[in-house]
Chain A
């Protein structure tokens, strides 16, 4: 039995009195695509940021290939981060740089690649997400939301990472563009053979890109299984979520008028 590529065990993170991650445990096998679903504010983004070390978990272990990565510093952390790519919710493109320098950022800054060669690779990666070479010299502010997401995807995969995170890849896009992004994600991941964790609350997207689905609720994984089995989960929380119903065990903390 091979060890899981990414393994989180009993990870906890609090912000003041608010417990965001409450003993979260999850495993992803190499080359698998895990989609984590769950409502807003249940700790999905915090989980990704803890793995990347942008936030420091209060307790628990985070292992990549069996090696503890929480608390890495200096060169070890740089090498660790070099294996990652991430697509942010708002694309998070650097708006002071033209598109091609965004895509080639890691190649230029991290790998000291010559700018000419980096540009060629950037244009090639843009092509893979369906954007022409004429986009390369535009600035991110000149692009539509869907194009920004695609540039963000090109940037995330530009240095051929082995692990990719997608933070709500389809949020804020129309259904057709959302499906285009889903297809691109599936293509890119297949081409690279990467291990991925995506977080979303878009079920159509989850079904399309997931091998496995896990549901997070109140900072814990309450259900995990193969994507095909989500409809027969037998879990009332999952049932409520995938049907998008206000009635069920998950109660939104709303003040009734």
Chain B
């Protein structure tokens, strides 16, 4: 229990440095663009596939469940709500946590144990500015973009199953989707996803920065980054949902 608080304290100090030092000039636009490419663009396939299958399976399950009380007509609207409010951000967050928290932790961890981070310092470049800040910024920008694409693909997955194998009328399905969906449904999901992006980059950077002890230490940092990012995403998701939807 004490160890947990000590870890939380270290993360908080790291966060403080990342924001107070990392987010001050000079900024490194090249690094930010590079990270956006890695975090955002390169995550598109995995996030897209996840969203497609999730939307498809959601349509199937709701159809099966809904048929028990003659509510099959709700399939399109529930798919849209489920994807935009919950499954889009959370599943994309978890997939990106697996990809990006791991790769950030492994990269920075290797830089730590091979003294590259110390070398940065001796070259008058603050590692919080050069390494941490670009990753945080890129993740916070990219996650909402990724999730808005995931939302679209997820709804499309439901639409394809709905119209091809469940026998819905294409026009009616789309009309129901659009009519029921409110701006809040989408925006709350996007706000969540920005926070998830921050969590992913922070955990990757924190564990990478503090890795020690060669290859084994880097391996441990990578595992810890993915596990802690995933759990924090799920916890933050509950917390934000209870805040954002408690009107």
**Chain A interface residues (CB < 8 Å from chain B):** 49, 52-54, 78, 81-82, 84-86, 88-90, 92-96, 105-106, 109-110, 155, 165
What residue in chain B is nearest A112 (Cβ atoms)?
B26
Return A118 CB to nearest CB of chain B, in Å: 13
**Does B125 lie within 8 Å of A86, measured CB to CB?**
no
- By a CB distance below 8 angstroms, the chain A residues around B123 are 81, 105-106, 109-110, 155
B116 touches A92 (CB 8 A): yes
B242 at the A interface (CB under 8 A): no
Rounded to whole Å, the gap between the CB of B124 and the closest CB of chain A is 5
Interface size class of B (residues with CB under 8 A): 10 to 19
Q: How far is the CB of B3 from chain A (nearest CB, A)?
A: 15
Asked if B121 is an interface residue, CB under 8 A from chain A, the answer is: yes
User: Shortest distance in angstroms between A253's beta carbon and chain B's nearest beta carbon?
Assistant: 20
- State whether B124 touches A106 (Cβ < 8 A): yes
Q: Is residue B130 contacting chain A, with contact meaning CB distance below 8 A? A: yes
Q: Tell me how far the C-beta of B12 lies from the nearest C-beta in chain A, rounded to whole angstroms.
A: 19
> Do residues A89 and B124 form an inter-chain contact, with CB atoms below 8 A?
no
Q: With a CB–CB cut-off of 8 A, which chain B residues contact A94? A: 111, 116, 119-120
**By DSSP majority rule, is chain B's interface helix, strand, loop, or mixed?**
helix
Contacts of B119 in A (CB 8 A): 86, 88, 92-94
Question: Which residues of chain B come closer than 8 Å to A90, judged between CB atoms?
Answer: 114-115
Q: Is B122 an interface residue (CB 8 A)?
A: yes
Cβ distance A38 to chain B, nearest Cβ, rounded Å: 19
Instruction: For the complex of A and B, list the 4 residue pairs with the smallest distance between their C-beta atoms, beginning with the closest.
Output: A92-B119, A92-B115, A86-B122, A81-B124
Q: Which of A52, A54, A81, A93 contacts B116 (CB 8 A)?
A: A93
Asked if B118 is at the interface of the complex by the 8 Å CB criterion, the answer is yes
A82, A92, A106, A110: the one contacting B118 at CB < 8 Å is A92
B99-123, CB under 8 A of A: which get 1 and which 0?
Answer: 0000000010001001110111111
Nearest CB of chain B from residue A220's CB, rounded to whole Å: 24
A81:B122 contact, CB within 8 angstroms: yes
Tell me which residues across on chain A come within 8 A of B118, comparing CB atoms: 49, 52, 54, 88, 92
B124 in contact with A82 (CB, 8 Å): yes
A78: chain B residues at CB < 8 Å are: 124
A-B contact pairs, 26 of them (CB 8 A): A49-B118, A52-B122, A53-B121, A54-B121, A81-B121, A82-B124, A85-B122, A86-B119, A88-B115, A90-B114, A92-B114, A92-B115, A92-B118, A93-B116, A94-B111, A94-B120, A105-B125, A106-B125, A109-B26, A109-B28, A109-B123, A109-B124, A109-B130, A110-B123, A110-B124, A155-B123
Alpha-carbon separation in the docked complex, A105 to B116 (Å) = 12
Q: In whole angstroms, what is the CA distance A82 to B118 when docked?
A: 14
A141 to chain B, nearest CB (A): 11
Contacts of B28 in A (CB 8 A): 109
Tell me the complex Cα distance, A94–B116, Å.
Answer: 6
Instruction: Give the residues in chain B near A54, CB-CB below 8 Å.
Output: 118, 121-122
Q: Which of B107, B115, B119, B130 has the most CB of A within 10 A?
A: B119
Q: How far is the CB of B150 from chain A (nearest CB, A)?
A: 28
Question: Nearest Cβ distance between residue A104 and chain B, in whole angstroms?
Answer: 10
Nearest CB in chain A to that of B34: its residue: A96
CA distance A90 to B114 in the complex (A): 7
CA distance A110 to B130 in the complex (A): 11
Q: Which residue of A lies closest to B129 (CB)?
A: A109
Distance in angstroms from B94 CB to nearest chain A CB is 27
Instruction: Across the interface, name the chain A residue whose C-beta is closest to B122.
Output: A86
